[in-house]
Amino acid sequence: MNVTVIDYKAGNLTSVVKALRHLGAEVTVTDGPDPLGEAERIILPGVGHFAATRRLDETGLTPAIREAISRGIPFLGICVGMQWLYSGSTEAPEQRGLGYLPETIERFPEGNEKVPHVGWNQIVPNSASRLLAGIRSEEFAYFTHSWRAPITSGTAATTEYIQPFASAVEDRNVFGVQFHPEKSAETGLKILKNFLELQPC
Amino acid sequence: MLTRRIIACLDVRDGRVVKGIQFVDLIDAGDPAALAHRHAFEGADEIVLLDITATHEGRATLLDTVRRTAHSLFVPFTVGGGIRTASDAEAVFEAGADKVSINSAALADPSLIGKIGASFGAQAVIVAIDARRNPDAADPVGQARVFTHGGRKDTGRTAVEWACEAESRGAGEILLTSMDSDGTRAGFDCELTAAVSSAVRIPVIASGGAGTVAHFADVFGSGQADAALAASIFHFGVSSARSLKQELAQLGIPVRLPC
């Protein structure tokens, strides 16, 4: 199981790489586009600010990722990495996302609840999801974010915080999770293992 | 539903756990990596490793300890103690920490909060506040003061005001320790926790004073805490995070019960 993890200096990718190696994957870390041409599957981690994805444009990673996705290889975005799959985010309106999904990422509405949404919350997977195969309804995952994706036809799991939002998305070979599977104990490891075992489509 | 978090805290000196949750059946109860793994297995939502090593040589040992502890830990992992600069924080992140906890260094230079957050994200910066009620004030809780140096040095700042500044400077969470309650096992300072928690929009982790399961229920209820630190849970008459959470669930507190 080979996986290429993209390093764009957004947060700390140590945890993601560690979890993948724990699962027996051979991990290549890259901060440039070249290795993506040969990649068998790609993970875009990320935590922090949406503006950090600007580096993907500056380093030529964006077109390389688009090309890899069109080859049909499995692609997984984590947290900001999932949000980047959409057209953009109100967190950094000047920064465009990949636009694979047309919607825009928006902040949780103001109210009595705290924002950011931090901690362990339940995910309700869509039974057809390949990424979330074997994950029961209401298993817990670890979240830390203030912006979230709307529920659409591509939503692979929903979570409730203030309002229901998309905690996972899945469209053919493209996957995203808002939570941190690398920090979500056994549930998260199961999801990463599912991803590592996906075949190109 | 978002659950309330139980965070296991290990105090470490020179690479060994000196205070913390002890398990009788663990062969080496002093090894942070073994204990952290055990707590995560038992259902602790996060692990905090607080380094109380005073010496310079101890820093290298700490990084090795963080690396070993993080190696097979798949829940959020915070490291605190002795982090004075952004490069200290970077070394700890590179060793495998997900968050750092900063205390006196942030008071000395509040811009440190934003500096660490700029590289690693706001969620990775916990500002730890040691506070004590101010008995001379008309509002002893609202005017609770922030102390450093193990409670010997009064910073002259109030806990509520410092927590708000930390939030505005980009802290991801507040770890609030009541110095009045710490070590008493008479319960968390719920009024102080509520005062701080209601003043900020970031999560507040309560610390200091837990003695019974009911104390956790209180701090999650009237204390409005988002998380609570369990420093020596085994002495509370429960054997593990798992049984603590089972009892909390029976009291109607939303917690993550591991499968």
pLDDT tens per residue across span A5-60: 999 887 668 899 999 999 999 999 999 999 999 999 999 998 778 999 999 999 99
Residue A97 has pLDDT above 80, yes or no: yes
Residue B232 has pLDDT above 70, yes or no: no
A197 is catalytic: no
- Best of B74, B174, B224 to disrupt the A interface (most A CBs within 10 Å) is B74
* Residue A81 at interface with chain B, using a CB cutoff of 8 Å: no
Contact A147, A83 (CB under 8 A): yes
Contact map slice: A 19-78 vs B, CB within 8 A: 19, 22, 47-49
Tell if the CB–CB gap between B124 and A12 is shorter than 8 Å: yes
Q: What is the pLDDT of residue B185?
A: 85
pLDDT tens per residue across span B108-129: 999 999 999 988 888 999 999 9
Euclidean distance between CA atoms B217 and B199, whole angstroms:
21
- Best of B46, B123, B174 to disrupt the A interface (most A CBs within 10 Å) is B123
Structure token digits, residue A65 = 């990722």
Residue B25 has pLDDT above 50, yes or no: no
Euclidean distance between CA atoms B131 and B146, whole angstroms:
4
- Best of A13, A79, A120, A162 to disrupt the B interface (most B CBs within 10 Å) is A120
Euclidean distance between CA atoms B92 and B110, whole angstroms:
19
B interface with A, Cβ–Cβ < 8 A, is: 1-5, 40, 45, 70-72, 74-76, 93-94, 96, 98, 119-124, 172-173, 201-203, 226-227, 256, 258-259
Token pair 């309700």 in the structure block, residue: A124
Contact B8, B207 (CB under 8 A): no
User: Is A77 in a helix, a strand, or coil?
Assistant: strand
pLDDT tens per residue across span A69-92: 999 999 999 999 999 999 999 999
Choose the closest CB to A121 out of B3, B70, B98.
B3
Tell if the CB–CB gap between A183 and B256 is shorter than 8 Å: no
Contact A166, A149 (CB under 8 A): yes
A182 is catalytic: yes
Q: What is the pLDDT of residue A67?
A: 97
Contact A94, A158 (CB under 8 A): no
B130 is catalytic: yes
Token pair 């469209």 in the structure block, residue: A171
Could you give the angle at the alpha carbon of B249 between the alpha carbons of B227 and B200, nearest 5°? 25
Choose the closest CB to A12 out of B40, B98, B172.
B98
For residue A115, the domain's CATH number is 3.40.50.880
For residue A29, which phi and psi values (nearest 5 degrees)?
Answer: -105, 130
Measured between CA atoms, the residue of chain A closest to residue B255 is A120
Residue type, A36: L
Q: What is the pLDDT of residue B151?
A: 79
CA B155 to centroid of chain Cα atoms:
20
Contact A83, A13 (CB under 8 A): no
* Residue A11 at interface with chain B, using a CB cutoff of 8 Å: yes
pLDDT tens per residue across span B121-166: 889 999 999 999 999 999 999 999 999 987 789 999 999 999 999 9
* Residue A91 at interface with chain B, using a CB cutoff of 8 Å: no
Q: Which among B181, B184, B101 has a CA at the least distance from the CA of B141?
A: B181
Q: What is the pLDDT of residue B227?
A: 98
Mean pLDDT value across chain A: 95
Domain count, chain A: 1
Helix, strand counts (H, E) of chain B: 9, 11
* ipTM of this complex prediction, to 2 decimal places: 0.94
Choose the closest CB to B124 out of A11, A121, A140.
A11
Measured between CA atoms, the residue of chain A closest to residue B119 is A11
> Pick the catalytic residue: A117, A139, A145, A182?
A182
- Whole-Å CA distances, A43 to A16, A31, A80, A161: 9, 12, 12, 26
How confident is residue B16, by pLDDT bands cut at 50, 70 and 90? confident
Q: Which domains does chain B have, with CATH numbers?
A: 5-250 (3.20.20.70)
User: Is A72 in a helix, a strand, or coil?
Assistant: coil
HSE toward the beta carbon, residue B236, CA cutoff 13 A: 27
pLDDT tens per residue across span B187-208: 999 999 999 999 999 999 999 9
Q: Domain range for residue A87?
A: 2-197
